[in-house]
Structure 1
Amino acid sequence: MKAIEVKGLQKAFKIKGKAIKALDDVSFDVALGQSVGFIGQNGAGKSTTIKVLFGALRADTGQALLMGRSAEDPRSRQGVGYVPENPYLYEQLTPREVVSSGLRLHGVHGAENSLRTERWLEKLGIAYAADKRIRNLSKGMTQRTALAHAFAIEPQLLVLDEPMSGLDPVGRRQVADLMQEYRQGGGTLFFCTHILHDVERLADHFVMIDRGRVRARQGVAELLASQGGMVVRYLGPQGLPGFEPDAGQVWKAVLPRGELSQVLQRIDALPGVVLNVHPQSSLEELFDTVVGESVNE
């Protein structure tokens, strides 16, 4: 059984009497235990795909399966954690009530319900506001509440649509750490994001969608390891041979992987401070290439 199976999804919306394709033969799957980043520009079809997966939209053609069941079957969502891009929570409830009621819907009651509620309110940094009404919370606090609800049920599959939306830098780091912890614990993670660095850090694989069509699918490590050149940037009083000024006293060069260790030692001896080292062709560069190609089609 796959956690997610999407086969030939087609979905069009009528805008001013004209049919506009939101999904055009979209197919991919997510195996149990995988962490998959779903990436694309605004309007690429990411949220539409997720809405089909959770029964909020019906595809014109094609099939969507969640935990081995049709996405139209409510039982497919049992034990699945989900946070949409803009979560709507009942304004009169409190974060404590939202998390606790969500656990009850997934069959968790009594002392275990209370324990998990308190644990996840604390982990998401909202325990101090646990008894405030949702209508009195900021967007970031509402997002944290929705995330606490999703994590608390200890899902076998966790689906997050732009999970960092509305969070401050501290909140982003907390949520990224929790996603990493969930992933390393064997959970299945499927998330949409505009932050490609998060995909490189948190995903085993990625699916890239643009203009309603899947444009690329690959393992993140395979993509990064396939690149022979490494970009090195450092802060130092002078540039080593082959390095060019980047900004101020920052120097940059593209080096073969085999020279990396020796060059880092030379930077240290300057003395210099290494700012970053990354493959020459990152996920961001692939994304730019794919989007550019689709624009020219």
Structure 2
Amino acid sequence: MNLVEVAGLIKRFKLKGREVKAIDDVSFTVAAGESVGFIGQNGAGKSTTIKILFGAIRADAGEALLMGRSAEDPRSRAGVGYVPENPYLYEQLTPREVLSAGLRLHGIRGVENTRRTALWLDKLGIAYAADKRIRNLSKGMTQRTALAHAFAIQPELLVLDEPMSGLDPVGRRQVADLMQEYRQQGGTLFFSTHILHDVERLADRFVMIHKGEIVAQQSMAEMLASQSMLVVRYHGEAALEGFRPDAQQIWKGLCPRTDLPALLQRLQDSGAVLIDAQPQSTLENVFEGLVLK
């Protein structure tokens, strides 16, 4: 079953008296249990597409289904956790009140409400600020509160629009780990991000949008497995044949995937230490090739 399904979406806006097409014939799906990364430059149409999915704006043409219902039907959002790019939370509430109220809206009350509220405040590192007003929190803490609310309801589908926005490196790592945990437990994840490394780690598949149009959709496993050459970096006293300096005592070179076992043995024999071996064509290469061409 597809929990997200969009077909032929078109949305136009007026800008300085002229019509601008924000998205043009956008189509893709997210199946139950799947993790899909939605990538593209600023202004590519990611947030517009997600807003249509949640009924915040209406498409001019096409169809958007969420949980098998029309995106304009409020019932489509039952069992869905959502964090927009710039979450707005009532400033007079506290993180504890935001989570507790959100859980009650999803029918979770009493002891279980209290337990989940405390659990997710702690998991997102905001327990110490649980009773401060939202208006007194930083952007990063507000983002953590919105994320804690989305995770706490234990959604069947989790939709995150730039979830790392405003977070420090520690917070980004925590959220990435929670997304991975949610994914591994069978949850369905659809997220947009500028951090392509997160897509490589967290997504089963990526959908790339550029200037309002879908330009690529592919399984991460297929993309990475199709690469016959690996970029290898190691730390050692000297360069092996075919390697060049990358940093002080760090060497970099290309190696056919089939030759990697022999290369690892050579590194061990020379006393060198492998740093990493990655496919020559990463998602970043694909992104630059399609967007900057």
Answer whether TM exceeds 0.5 for this pair: yes
Rounded Cα–Cα distance in structure 2 between residues aligned with 1:31 and 1:214: 18
Separation (CA, whole Å) in 1 of partners of 2:266 and 2:77: 55
C-alpha offsets along residues 233-265 of structure 1, whole Å, 9 cap, x if unaligned?
Answer: 112211001111223322111110011122122
**Residue 266 of structure 1, CA deviation:** 1.8
User: In structure 2, how many angstroms separate the alpha carbons of the residues matched to 1:123 and 1:265?
Assistant: 42
Give the distance between the partners of 2:72 and 2:8, measured in 1 at CA: 16
Percentage of pairs with the same residue:
72
* Distance (whole Å) between structure 1 residues aligned to residue 220 and residue 213 of structure 2: 20
SS in 2 for 1:11: strand
Q: Residues 179-232 of structure 1, C-alpha deviation per residue, up to 9 Å, x if partnerless?
A: 011001010000001111111100001100000000000110110000100000
Residue 137 of structure 2: aligned partner = 137
2:225 is aligned to 225
Bigger mean CA offset, 206-215 vs 258-267: 258-267
Q: Helix, strand or coil: the match of 1:176?
A: helix
Q: Which amino acid aligns with 2:162?
A: E
CA offset at residue 140 of structure 1? 0.9
Corresponding residue of 1:167: 167
For 1:67-216, what aligned pairs fall within 5 Å after superposition? 67-216=67-216
Q: Deviations over 1:20-59 (max 9, x none)?
A: 1110100000000000000001111000000000011101
Given residue 235 of structure 1, which amino acid in structure 2 is its aligned partner? H
TM-score for the superposition, normalised by structure 1: 0.97
Q: How many residues align?
A: 293
Q: What do the CA deviations read for 1:82-120 (whole angstroms, capped 9, x no partner)?
A: 001111111110000000000011111111111110111
C-alpha distance in 2, partners of 1:269/1:160?
47
The answer for the alignment partner of 2:256 in structure 1 is 256
1:168 Cα offset (Å) = 1.1
Q: CA deviation at 1:10?
A: 0.4
Bigger Cα displacement from structure 2, 201-210 vs 256-265 = 256-265
| Map of 1:2 onto structure 2 | 2
Alpha-carbon distance in structure 2 between the residues aligned to 1:138 and 1:269: 52
Task: Give the C-alpha shift of residue 292 in structure 1.
Answer: 2.2
Mapped partners of 1:202, 1:273: distance in 2: 27
Deviation larger for 268-277 or 186-195: 268-277
**SS of residue paired to 2:230:** strand
Matched residue of 2:131: which SS?
Answer: coil
Query: How high is the TM-score relative to the length of structure 2?
Result: 0.98
What is the DSSP-based 3-state SS (H/G/I as helix, E as strand, rest coil) of the residue aligned with 2:141? helix
Q: What is aligned with 1:271? A: 271
Instruction: Measure the CA separation in 2 of the matches of 1:23 and 1:74.
Output: 23
Q: Verify: 1:63 aligned to 2:63, yes or no.
A: yes
Higher alpha-carbon deviation: 2-11 or 271-280: 271-280
SS at match of 1:89: coil
Measured in 2, the distance between the counterparts of 1:75 and 1:270 equals 63
Q: SS of 1:116's equivalent?
A: helix
Residue 236 of structure 1: aligned partner: 236
- The answer on 1:23 being equivalent to 2:23 is yes
Cα distance in 2, alignment partners of residues 149 and 119 from structure 1 = 11
5+ residue gaps, structure 2, are none
Q: Spell out structure 1 runs of 4+ moving beyond 3 A.
A: none
The one-letter amino acid of 1:43's match is: G
Gaps spanning 5+ residues in structure 1: where?
A: none
Residues in 1 aligned to 2:58 and 2:277: alpha-carbon distance in whole angstroms: 44
Cα distance in 1 for partners of 2:245, 2:118 equals 52
Which amino acid is 1:224 matched to?
L
SS of 1:281's equivalent?
Answer: coil
Query: SS state of the match for residue 38, structure 1?
Result: strand
C-alpha distance in 2 between matches for 1:248 and 1:120: 43
Aligned partner of residue 191 in structure 1, secondary structure: strand
SS in 2 for 1:19: strand
**In 2, Cα distance between equivalents of 1:273 and 1:172:** 29
Work out the CA distance in 1 between the residues paired with 2:101 and 2:288. Answer: 43
